[in-house]
Structure 1
Amino acid sequence: MKILAIDTSNEVLGIALLNENVVIGEYITNLKKNHSVRLMPAIERFLADCETNPAELDKIVVAQGPGSYTGVRMGVTVAKSLAWSLDIPLTGVSSLAVLAAAPRYFEGYIVPLFDARRGLIYTGLYHYKQGSLEEIRSDKNILAADWAKELKLLEQPILFIGNDVSIHREVFQTELKGFATFANITECNPRPGELGKLGMNLPPADIHSFTPNYIRLVEAEAKWLEEQEQKK
């Protein structure tokens, strides 16, 4: 089985090709550039470098969100188009789970996060059990300060991981003190190979009804809905 994994849910653009036994190739950049312009050319070059024809693909796995509204939408749109045109299964995986998958060595809880501005973060709570990543608390959008208070109650070692951790590091250090550990910068880019592995054996989604998981409405949508409620 050849799986193409795609992640554009944040600034990192990641593509991987893998099968059950090996990650054939990975492409990762962490740049503030337009994914909509770069993604398809990157996929085409990547598959060519891996000497793989799109017709050889057996499955598409995509980071479904949360993250950047535009980034998540772009990745999901391209993944759906490829799966539909190639007539192969499509599976979505939490973008936060992809981050949490990397530190297998850590025996405590794993907290991946993306910044959501104004003190808010996208985050969740995970850990490894018998070699498998498990979700302990579902992904959410929450104030970093409130999340720190919740995590403090666990009284367990917690590893924070993600490129945006530095924005909120002081909040977690102050609240959690010795329970807080922070991943090395080399672990903080979500690996598309991990994405592909997580989605390899998950059931396929219905391509036509498959949608991004934004967790929260974007500000413009929330404002519009609020205005409509006020008009009633």
Structure 2
Amino acid sequence: MTILAIDTSNYVLGVALLEENQVLGEYITNLKKNHSVRIMPAIQTLMKDCGKEPADLTKIVVAKGPGSYTGVRIGVTIAKTLAWTLHIPLVGVSSLEILAAGTGRYFNGYVAPLFDARRGQVYTALYQYQDGRLTAVKQDQLVMLADWAVELQEMDKAVLFVGNDLPLHQAKIEEVLGAKAVFASVTERNPRPAELAQLGQVKPGEDLHSFVPNYIRLAEAEAKWLEAKGKIQNG
């Protein structure tokens, strides 16, 4: 089995090739640049360097959100197109789950990945490794960081926080959780596309026609459009 993993759900752009239990290659950047322009050349370069052709692929795994509305849409669109064209399975994995998988494997406690969602909000969830498998303790959600910190303060174990947006929220987390809060190092904060590939390796393929991203909330522009439309219809 040769898996291509794609993650454009946030500023980090990641591509990986996993063959059986071997990581053939990874490409990762954490830049505020246009993913729509860079993702296909990244895939092509990685596959060429690893000596692989599209026909060699047996599964596509994509980060399905939450995250940047545009970024999530780009990755999912490309993944669906490739899976459809190559007639191979497509699997979607939570962008938060990818972060948790990369840091929590050897941590004796809970893992709280997070992405900043502005206005004091974060996309987050809570995970824990049990018997060698990553399990969700609290599902993906959009929540005020202050409320989330209070909720986690009641947990019975330490909490490892991970994500590139930690500097925006670390002070508040420390204020509420104190010594119970542990923070991933800078080198552990990028979601690894190889982790994405491994997570998707054991998941069954999904229906291409019904597969959609997990935005958690509507894009701001879409929400305003729907709100305005509702007012017009109700007026």
TM-score, L = length of structure 2 = 0.97
Please name the residue that 1:120 is paired with: 121
Q: Report the Cα distance in structure 1 between the residues aligned to 2:13 and 2:209, rounded to whole angstroms.
A: 24
**Aligned partners of 1:5 and 1:196 also within 8 Å:** yes
Counting only pairs closer than 5 Å after superposition, residues 180-219 of structure 1 correspond to structure 2 as 180-219=181-220
Please name the residue that 1:143 is paired with: 144
RMSD: 0.9
Q: Report the Cα distance in structure 1 between the residues aligned to 2:226 and 2:148, rounded to whole angstroms.
A: 27
CA offsets 1:120-155 (integer angstroms, 9 cap, x no match): 110000010011100011100111111111111114
The structural deviation recorded for 1:208 is 1.8
The structural deviation recorded for 1:20 is 2.1
Q: Report the Cα distance in structure 2 between the residues aligned to 1:196 and 1:79, rounded to whole angstroms.
A: 13
Q: Report the Cα distance in structure 2 between the residues aligned to 1:228 and 1:160, rounded to whole angstroms.
A: 39
Q: Percentage identity across aligned positions?
A: 61
Q: Report the Cα distance in structure 2 between the residues aligned to 1:131 and 1:201, rounded to whole angstroms.
A: 14
Please name the residue that 2:24 is paired with: 24
CA offsets 1:77-126 (integer angstroms, 9 cap, x no match): 00001000111000000000000001211010000000111111100000
Letter in 2 for 1:61: V
**Aligned partners of 1:99 and 1:188 also within 8 Å:** yes
Please name the residue that 2:99 is paired with: 99
**Aligned partners of 1:155 and 1:179 also within 8 Å:** no
Please name the residue that 2:71 is paired with: 71
Q: Report the Cα distance in structure 1 between the residues aligned to 2:22 and 2:170, rounded to whole angstroms.
A: 35
Q: Report the Cα distance in structure 1 between the residues aligned to 2:201 and 2:37, rounded to whole angstroms.
A: 27
TM-score, L = length of structure 1 = 0.98
Please name the residue that 1:174 is paired with: 175
Say whether 1:224 aligns with 2:192. no
Please name the residue that 1:53 is paired with: 53
Q: Secondary structure at the match of 2:80?
A: helix
Q: Report the Cα distance in structure 2 between the residues aligned to 1:23 and 1:15, rounded to whole angstroms.
A: 11
Q: Report the Cα distance in structure 1 between the residues aligned to 2:179 and 2:149, rounded to whole angstroms.
A: 13
Letter in 2 for 1:169: Q
Q: Secondary structure at the match of 1:101?
A: helix
Say whether 1:10 aligns with 2:10. yes
Q: Report the Cα distance in structure 2 between the residues aligned to 1:55 and 1:108, rounded to whole angstroms.
A: 42
The structural deviation recorded for 1:42 is 1.0
Runs of 5+ consecutive residues of structure 1 not aligned to the other structure? none
Q: Report the Cα distance in structure 2 between the residues aligned to 1:119 and 1:4, rounded to whole angstroms.
A: 35
Q: Report the Cα distance in structure 2 between the residues aligned to 1:58 and 1:229, rounded to whole angstroms.
A: 45
Runs of 5+ consecutive residues of structure 2 not aligned to the other structure? none
Q: Secondary structure at the match of 1:47?
A: helix
Q: Secondary structure at the match of 1:25?
A: strand
Please name the residue that 1:87 is paired with: 87
Q: Report the Cα distance in structure 1 between the residues aligned to 2:147 and 2:218, rounded to whole angstroms.
A: 20
Letter in 1 for 2:164: N
Aligned residues: 232
Q: Report the Cα distance in structure 2 between the residues aligned to 1:130 and 1:19, rounded to whole angstroms.
A: 24
The structural deviation recorded for 1:229 is 3.0
The structural deviation recorded for 1:219 is 1.1
| Distance verdict in 2 for CA 1:151–1:135, change over 3 Å | same
